[in-house]
Structure 1
Amino acid sequence: MAEQVDAQGESGRAVLGRTLRFLREKEGKSLGQLADETGYDKSYLSRLESGERLSKVTVMEDLDGYYGAGDLLVSHWKAARLDAFKDQYKEYMKLESTARVMWVFTPGVPGLLQTEDFAREVLSKAQTTADVDEWVEEQVAARLGRQYLLRQEPQPDVRIILDEFALRRPAASAQTWHDQLLHLEAAALWPNVALQVLPFSAGAHHHMNGSLTLLWQRDGSAVAYKEGNGCSRLIEDPDEVLRNRLSYDRLRDLALSPSDSLKFIRRVLKEHRHHEAHP
């Protein structure tokens, strides 16, 4: 098997595709037979094998189970998903995937907590080229793929501060927004996630134009990652990382407690349901 999945000189997506084809041929299956037995479309499976498409991680989990391959395909998928991102973000994602502690502030609903439909709506509005559907589905799969780290073992300890703005800017679809609010409510109850809302009543703050993430590795090393105004920056200098940690601490001091934040989210959900029932 090692010879079949040697990744030297190939993109992660190419290695994943070649591994998919190898496993299928090893089982003596045609694409048609595989489609019939797994329920996935034949042309979709073909595009995965050719490296033209990136699947959701659940597809790789299904195929790992089908082939009895352990987590081989999922492990290759983790590398393949990096192909969808820019170089600096790829480096950040590698660090994110091994982080033991994550602190996040975002003015919008963070990608780590977006539902598939909400992510698709957000990403669709960001794309203006002719091949919008293909690009959007690629980015949706990649974004949902990041959420895999929240359920890997050992689970990282995650704190997310969410600006109230994120809860006041609904999706165009009422059902999509309802499901997104339900997902935020559920996430606030996960044992490894502390979710806090930064209310409008806290006033102006120093991260209104962008997001901030702090990551700590098992060895105690830390980095910060900032996005805003169309720019992004990975920060590794210890002094600057410390400054950003103190900056995050000030935001946390302004935010509602996790229990009060859960009440806040539930109140917004109740308001949404009332509005939909009485337009």
Structure 2
Amino acid sequence: MAGPKDLDPSSSPRALLGAELRHAREKAGLSQDELGQRLFVSGSFIGQLEAGTRRMLPEYARSLDEVLDTGDFFRRNCGAAARSRYPDHFAEAAEAESTAKEIREYSQLLIPGLLQTTAYARAVCRAYQPTAPDEAIEEVVSARVERARLLADPTEPLLWVVMDESALRRATGGPTVMSEALQHIAGLIRRNRVIVQVLPFDAGAHPAMEGSVKLMDFENAPPLAYFEGVGTGRLEDDPATVRHQRLTYELLTASALSPRNSLVLIEAVAQDYAHEQHP
């Protein structure tokens, strides 16, 4: 297992808890695996808590205080680390995403969040919550757009996306929104900031027909797979599960169009939407 990452305790509540957890564990003379056994979790999960790639939930905080004899330190402080602008089912994944070095994602029905424009995100969020007040929708949209600032760095993280052709063809928000959204993706590709492949309809059956795939790799923590459904989501660190999802993703890239041909298709569909705006 990779050694713990040196953290700046002042950088975030999760960094503080991670640094304190590592200190308390080492003071108790326990390895990550040994501490994990006492909490009925894996040693890699403890490593992810220490590295700040997983959020500390109250049930784990209470157990850590008991096992490590830290009074109520973790229970008192895990609340600050758990605050998030994202829905509960996605908050932990968003936090992990922010520290990932490599992100690989297959999106079946919509443009992935990191590639969405504001208008596209607004259309998606409104579809999810058709009766929500505008203020609530804008709060969610703002959080989603904020995530995309990960791409402001010219080199990290590596983002490799496979999009199903249906994500391009479904006119989410109408022609104007879709034209802008696809032009935005094309611009990121042309600036060499992301790798995007399109899985065309004529690829036929493929190994991810039942859902999406998201893999995250970290510098000093084990990789994670994220599974998402309607209003639900979970992170998985089981090595066998992550390996299976990685194989699934690799098979998808083998069936998808090349990055060059994918860009041609994305720009062509964007142009089609533009023509619908101005026939």
TM-score normalised according to structure 1 size? 0.66
**Counterparts of 1:27-38 in structure 2 under 5 Å?**
none
Deviation at 1:272, TM superposition (A): 2.2
Q: Deviations over 1:144-184 (max 9, x none)?
A: 01101122476211100010001101134332222112112
Distance in 2 separating the partners of 1:110 and 1:187: 13
Q: Is the 8 A contact 1:227 1:233 kept in 2?
A: yes
Partner-residue secondary structure (3-state), 2:160: strand
Query: For 1:119, which of 105, 115, 121 is the aligned residue?
Result: 121
Alignment correspondent of 1:174: 175
Long gaps (5+) in structure 1: 9-78
Structure 2 equivalent of residue 60 of structure 1: none
Instruction: Quote how far apart the aligned CAs of 1:249 are.
Output: 0.6
CA distance in 1, matches of 2:12, 2:113: 31
Aligned residue pair count: 203
Is 1:150 paired with 2:151? yes
| Residue of structure 2 equivalent to 1:109 | 111
Q: Give the AA of the match of 1:211.
A: S
In structure 2, the residue matched to 1:160 is 161
Deviations 1:177-201 (A, max 9, x none): 2211211211222323101100001
- Deviation string, structure 1 residues 4-53 (Cα, Å, up to 9, x no partner): x9979xxxxxxxxxxxxxxxxxxxxxxxxxxxxxxxxxxxxxxxxxxxxx
Compared CA separation, residues 263 and 81, structure 1 to 2 (3 A): farther
Given that residues 156 and 192 in structure 1 are in contact (C-alpha distance below 8 angstroms), is that contact kept between their aligned partners in structure 2? no
Secondary structure of the residue aligned to 1:83 is: coil
Percentage of identical aligned residues: 37
DSSP 3-state at the match of 1:90 = helix
Aligned mates of 1:236, 1:275 — CA distance in 2: 45
The alpha carbon displacement at 1:85 in A equals 2.2
Please tell me whether the aligned partners of residues 107 and 163 of structure 2 are also in contact (alpha carbons under 8 angstroms).
yes
Closer, same or farther: CA 81–238 of 1 in aligned 2, 3 Å: closer
**Is the 8 Å Cα contact of residues 222 and 237 (structure 2) preserved in structure 1?**
no
2:257 maps to 256
Q: What does 1:39-188 correspond to in 2, within 5 Å? A: 83-107=84-108, 108-129=110-131, 131-152=132-153, 155-188=156-189
> What is the alpha-carbon distance in structure 2 between the residues aligned to residue 6 and residue 166 of structure 1?
35
Q: Report the AA paired with residue 198 of structure 1.
A: L
Contact 2:182–2:266, Cα closer than 8 Å, also in 1:
yes
Determine the structure 1 residue equivalent to 2:4: none
Q: Contact conserved, 1:123 with 1:140, CA < 8 A, in 2? A: yes
Tell me by how many angstroms 1:220 deviates: 6.1
Residues 206-249 of structure 1: CA deviation (Å, up to 9, x unaligned): 32342211000013621100113543221101111011100111
Task: Find the aligned partners of 1:267 and 1:81 in 2 and give their Cα distance.
Answer: 43
> What is the alpha-carbon distance in structure 1 between the residues aligned to residue 214 and residue 207 of structure 2?
14
Q: Structure 1's 223 and 80: CA in aligned 2 closer, same or farther, altered over 3 A?
A: closer
CA distance change for structure 1 residues 206 and 229 in 2, over 3 Å: closer, same or farther?
farther
Residues 101 and 157 of structure 1 are in contact (CA less than 8 Å); yes or no, is this contact kept in structure 2?
yes
Q: Is the 8 A contact 1:210 1:229 kept in 2?
A: no
Shift, 1:88, TM fit: 4.6
Check whether the contact 1:187–1:195 (CA below 8 A) recurs between aligned residues. no
Tell me the TM-score normalized by structure 2: 0.66
Contact preservation (8 Å) 1:214, 1:225: yes
CA contact (8 A) 1:161 1:195 kept: yes
Aligned to 2:278: 277
Secondary structure of 2:205 counterpart: coil
Consecutive unaligned residues in structure 2, runs of 5 or more: 1-10, 15-79
Q: Which residue of 1 aligns with 2:41?
A: none
Aligned equivalent of 1:16? none
Matched, 1:216 2:217: yes
CA–CA separation in structure 1 for the residues paired with 2:207 and 2:257 = 17
Q: Quick one: structure 1 residues 254 and 134, their matched pair in 2 at CA, closer, same or farther if it must change by over 3 Å? A: same
Q: Paired residue for 2:75?
A: none
Q: Tell which has more relative contact order, 1 or 2 (C-alpha 8 A, sep 6+).
A: 2
Conserved? CA contact 1:88–1:234, under 8 Å: no
